[in-house]
Structure 1
């Protein structure tokens, strides 16, 4: 009789313990809820819609390019190949850029000039943050202090000086030129850079950004250094 009572009592304790454990876990890990208001959700939806529209535009552009190349290959493979090579050169910066864009002037802050502080060069970290911010807004071409940046360009500290493509960046003031695909993209980049907090980071380093108005005839020189072909192999003619 006593054994049966102990078994029942133990079983009841197990049930109670399990219920307490479930309740504790629920309190410690409450279900997360979306607390954003309607306006925040509408803004997020607008961003996703804009991204979707941009992706569709890119797909349409690629389809048109593919159709054009298919027609050109049928008519003249050499012309199609030359056009492809020229397009690739433009994309990676081996050709000069002439089109819409804007210019940023990096100069000493007025406060640093007023108190007579020595003008320091821009740090690599700060320049990298600015370039990342620019690329986030889909820059087509970038030139820093006359040095064209491409996919392999490196920003480094060499003997206390910030370098781009192994060439030193002079102390402020200097110019950063940014090319875009369209004038609308240039205006959008201007507005986004004006609203960005990147200017505060420059102010901490006694520098300021003067963002110029977008234009249609920005000129950026081509990359003029040798490109490493370490991982490229040339296939002999006639081999497939």
Structure 2
């Protein structure tokens, strides 16, 4: 009888000890939690809402194009297709563009010149950071040192030189142009750049940004390279 009680008591102690060990381990190694503050979460939420809004805008544009094709007769279909092709060429950056925008000059810092610091080219990381800063605005058109920057463009380091589209970016000073959909958008870009912390990043590399005031007519040349078609094939007439 005593042996039975002893074994039961031992079993109970083992269960209690096992449960205590599990609880202690869970308290010592809690599950990973989101430790971001409320502002970081709000910023991520704002970014997702902006992305969602852009997708809805693109869907509306495509729906509008479909309705346009459905409402046209055979004679006007060719004209609508031509307009669509011109719009796509513009979005791809092939054509020359003129519109409201700003001109930015990248110059060596005055202190660097005064102290005789060697002037070096802008780094690919800094130039990429600058482009990413502006990508928060929709519909902008870029030109960097006379080189059209599009979705097909790349900023790389080739043999120690910063390149855009495989072409070397000049050692400062050089200019960058930005065209916005409207003059009001250009003013927003201007105000953002004037107050942006990107100036500190340039200054650390002994460079300064001179942001010109918005202008009504800024010209940007089209992408000089020919776009290659790898997947689409033109059908013979009548098919």
TM over 0.5: yes
Q: Distance in 1 between matches of 2:85 and 2:76?
A: 15
Structure 2 unaligned residues grouped into runs of 5+:
none
Aligned counterpart, 2:118 = 118
The CA deviation string for residues 20-71 of structure 1, in whole angstroms up to 9 with x for no partner, is: 422441354278587856xx49965994797366655555444434333332
Aligned counterpart, 2:15 = 14
- Cα distance change on mapping 1:187 and 1:156 into 2, 3 Å: same
SS in 1 for 2:184: helix
Q: Distance in 2 between matches of 1:54 and 1:151?
A: 16
Greater CA deviation, 44-53 or 177-186? 44-53
The CA deviation string for residues 177-213 of structure 1, in whole angstroms up to 9 with x for no partner, is: 1122223332332233333332222111111111222
Structure 1 unaligned residues grouped into runs of 5+:
none
The structural deviation recorded for 1:142 is 0.7
SS in 2 for 1:116: coil
Across the two proteins, how many residue pairs are aligned to each other? 237
Matched, 1:86 2:92: no
The structural deviation recorded for 1:4 is 4.0
SS in 2 for 1:98: strand
TM-score, normalising length: structure 1 = 0.81
Aligned counterpart, 2:181 = 181
Aligned counterpart, 1:155 = 155
Q: Distance in 2 between matches of 1:76 and 1:63?
A: 18
The CA deviation string for residues 157-180 of structure 1, in whole angstroms up to 9 with x for no partner, is: 333322222222111111111122
The structural deviation recorded for 1:238 is 4.3
Q: Distance in 2 between matches of 1:45 and 1:120?
A: 36
Q: List, as ranges, runs of 4+ consecutive aligned residues in structure 1 with deviation greater than 6 Å.
A: none
SS in 2 for 1:219: strand
The CA deviation string for residues 100-132 of structure 1, in whole angstroms up to 9 with x for no partner, is: 222221111111011122211112222222222
Aligned counterpart, 2:234 = 235
The CA RMSD over aligned residues, in Å, is 3.2
**Counterparts of 1:190-209 in structure 2 under 5 Å?**
190-209=190-209
- Cα distance change on mapping 1:166 and 1:56 into 2, 3 Å: closer
